Amino acid sequence: MKNIVILISGGGSNMAAIVKAARRDNWQDRFGARVAAVISNRASAGGLIFAAENGLATEVLDHKVFDSREAFDAALAGIIDRFDEPAQPVLVVLAGFMRILTPGFVNRYAGRLLNIHPSLLPAFPGLHTHQRALDAGCQVAGATVHQVTAELDYGPILAQAVVPVLPGDSANTLAARVLTQEHRIYPQAIAGLLGP
């Protein structure tokens, strides 16, 4: 069984969309895969409640108690590796995980570390993507699922979704419209990686 471990920092709406898609589309029988655990760097992350209510293992690893990013990432890898099997390497999915990962961590899970970013990469990496798209006068915005590399918000693109920028849009209204597409394309991209 290929285990999927999802990392979150907040409400976990993308995580929930992935969990629901995995059940609805029967990833266990189709791909031999399941969402096994949800890990957060914040104990207050609302997504932990959804995960626990859906029978998933949950862990909290507070980044603030570590002296360095490297120490936090090493401890995080230790938790993830509990779900790792040599024959079926774990898939690590970032779903609103608000930590920049060290190159060592990224290399450890190279090719099986995924992220979703709320812009049409390579445009607008980093934060405040929706306001930046509005400020630039973009007519479209969107979201990108990509494999994670050591360079922030960079790496092979697996899926993208485009939404129009509407007259009168604010960063919040645009973000809400993009988020509905994130919930659609992230599970699709993961399923595409798992099998035909």
63 as an active site residue: the answer is: no
Domains and CATH numbers, the chain: 2-194 (3.40.50.170)
Closest CA to 148 of 189, 179, 181: 189
Per DSSP, what are the bridge partners of residue 160?
144
**Burial tier of 121 (Cβ tally within 10 Å: 0-12, 13-18, 19+):** buried
Catalytic residue among 117, 130, 146, 183, which? Answer: 117
Tell me the pLDDT tens digit for each residue of 169-182: 999 999 999 999 99
Distance, in Å, from the CA atom of 102 to the CA atom of 29, rounded to the nearest integer, reads 34
Place of tokens 């009168």: 168
For residue 101, the 8-state DSSP code is P
The band of 86, judged by pLDDT with boundaries at 50, 70 and 90, is confident
Distance, in Å, from the CA atom of 27 to the CA atom of 12, rounded to the nearest integer, reads 20
Tell me the pLDDT tens digit for each residue of 118-148: 999 999 999 999 999 999 999 999 999 999 9
The band of 85, judged by pLDDT with boundaries at 50, 70 and 90, is confident
Alpha helices, DSSP H, located in 54-102: 69-80
Tell me the pLDDT tens digit for each residue of 11-46: 999 999 999 999 999 999 999 999 999 999 999 999
Instruction: State pTM to two decimals.
Output: 0.96
State how beta strands 2-8 and 33-40 pair: parallel
